[in-house]
Amino acid sequence: MTDTEERSRNGRQPLVVRVTDIDFQREVLEKLGILEAQMEMLVGAGQPGRMRIAEEKISLLERSEIRRSVHDRILNAVITVIISAAIALHDHLGLK
């Protein structure tokens, strides 16, 4: 009589149930393989992955935004100076 049979006869459940489900193991390994392939695609396996490309694009956009912001400020300053000069000199320019 095995240990499992003896325990079930005494009314106790076995502590460990051994599962030899080859299909389950195969399914888990397939899913792990798919997950690994997806991670390599995102991170890159020796070449730039999607995340690296996205980081580079974000960096370019940030630099472009800073440059545009500086140009906008300079343009606003020029417009402000022109308007201020026109207000201050409106009598001399013949504007009423």
Secondary structure, 3-state, the chain = CCHHHHHHHCCCCCCCCCCCCHHHHHHHHHHHHHHHHHHHHHHCCCCCCHHHHHHHHHHHHHHHHHHHHHHHHHHHHHHHHHHHHHHHCHHHHCCC
* Residue-level length of the chain: 96
**The two structure tokens encoding residue 7:** 């325990």
Give me the percent of the chain exceeding a pLDDT of 70.
70
Query: Can you give the pTM of this predicted structure?
Result: 0.40
Convert the pLDDT of each residue in 54-88 to its tens digit.
Answer: 888 999 999 888 888 988 999 999 999 999 988 88
For the chain, domain boundaries: 19-48, 50-96
Tokens read off for 34: 């798919």
Mean pLDDT, to the nearest integer, of 4-20?
60
What average pLDDT is seen over the chain? 79
For residue 25, what pLDDT band results from cuts at 50, 70 and 90? Answer: confident
Three-state DSSP state, 14? coil
